[in-house]
Amino acid sequence: MLNQKRIVDNFIEMVKISSPSKKERKMADYLTKVLNGLGLEVSEDDAGEVQGGNCGNIIGILKSNSKNKETILLSAHMDTVVPCEVINPIIKNDIIKTDGTSVLGGDDKAGIAAILELLKVIKEDKISHPTLLVVFSIAEEIGLLGANVFDIEKYNVSYGLVLDNPDNPGKAVVKASALAQGKLKITGKAAHAGIEPEKGINALVVAAKAIGFLRLGKVDFETTANLGTINGGEAYNIVLPELVISYEARSQSKEKLDILLEETFDIFEKYCKESGATFEHDVKLVANTFALNESEEVIQKMKKISKKMSLPYEGLKSSGLSDANIYSAKGIPTINLAVGMSKIHTVEEFIAIKDLSLSAEFLIEFVKDLED
């Protein structure tokens, strides 16, 4: 049976392992050992080499021991946002938080803890199950980099559960935005700002003209756009020759996103051309939208288990992203389960012990139900 103390101990042990994006090696080695011990066939793919990290995605396969020969994906990401150099978790009543100097990293170690507890209970209680494909991905927080290059097609997966949403257990993201991100570069021309400024082209002045015409912020009820960072300039007395702006846009509608991107690039092109500057960008689609149908098997099963556990099911629409975007876009219906983390991406992040247990219990009930 589910063991709450074991989940908490395991969670505390894992959050203490520092694993910023692209530096998940220690976490990967830890999980490889644990999965091996639980009888899974474990491997590591080449995502680290491809994406420039120090380890790849960790993949564990637990072969079916029943008539159900389907393969179900269970996934969570190993990386956390910063600061996460040293993490001192503190348990107070039912809450696990940090000393305020780092994030907790429950995003997404709460998801990993639930999956590991499921595997331990399966082994102990000899629960029958279909084939479980366990994937612990790298670099989710910096653009779903691990999931993006994970070769999921070769595993013949029926559907997937990603455990990586901060809402309350029982809920799941079934619709999510598409996201495009990249740099916008305006190249003007340097000149002495005091002696002959007229010979220069100030990239910031050109950008300012263009930015005035952009649609930014909350573009409409399902679309947003942002200029996140701006870099450029050399000295007081040099006409600013080059400017690089990081840009992102999200929408629940891929069509709207495409239109917005085209419009944004056209505006920069126009004002650069007018001033003799040049415009380049490397904005790329990080993840496509996904919108699962209510009739999907995975949603039906999700609803059934939520009801059984008296948790209020809700199909969430999210403008945030998760590895579920990647898998769903590749044609494998994948939902992103809520695991109850709070104030994620801040040093005030915390999670309730009750939610850690509920997430594990949910997975156990889910797997048991697959055999009924």
Written as six digits, the tokens of 363 are 């997975």
Which position among 24, 140, 141, 355 bears the catalytic label?
Answer: 140
Give min distance, CB of 38 to Zn ion, in A: 23
Residue with Cβ nearer Zn ion (71 or 137)? 137
Positive/negative CA dihedral, 328, 331, 332, 333: positive
Q: Residue numbers of the site for Zn ion (CB under 5 A)?
A: 107-108, 164
For the beta carbon of residue 94, count every other beta carbon within 10 angstroms. Answer: 11
Residue with Cβ nearer Zn ion (19 or 71)? 19
Q: Are strands 314-318 and 171-176 parallel, antiparallel or unpaired?
A: parallel
Give min distance, CB of 278 to Zn ion, in A: 38
Residue with Cβ nearer Zn ion (117 or 164)? 164
Give min distance, CB of 75 to Zn ion, in A: 11
Residue with Cβ nearer Zn ion (107 or 242)? 107
Long-range contacts of 228-236 (CB under 8 A, 24+ apart): 232/203, 232/204, 233/204, 234/190, 236/193
Give min distance, CB of 204 to Zn ion, in A: 35
Q: Mind giving me the DSSP string for 5-25? A: HHHHHHHHHHHTS--BTT--H
* Helix, strand, coil % over all residues of the chain, rounded to 5: 35, 30, 35
Judged on CB neighbours under 10 Å (0-12, 13-18, 19+), 285 is: middle
Residue with Cβ nearer Zn ion (51 or 278)? 51
Residue 97 CA to its chain's centroid (Å)? 21
Please indicate whether residue 140 is annotated as part of the active site. Answer: yes
Give the residue from 337, 339, 327 showing the smallest Cα distance to 290: 327
DSSP code at position 175:
E
Judged on CB neighbours under 10 Å (0-12, 13-18, 19+), 314 is: middle
Give min distance, CB of 164 to Zn ion, in A: 4
Give min distance, CB of 218 to Zn ion, in A: 23
Q: Which residue stretches of 38-175 are H helix? A: 47-51, 106-125, 145-149
Which position among 24, 45, 79, 117 bears the catalytic label?
Answer: 79
H or E segment to which residue 217 belongs: strand 217-220
Please indicate whether residue 220 is annotated as part of the active site. Answer: no
Euclidean distance between CA atoms 108 and 285, whole angstroms: 23
Catalytic residues: 79, 140
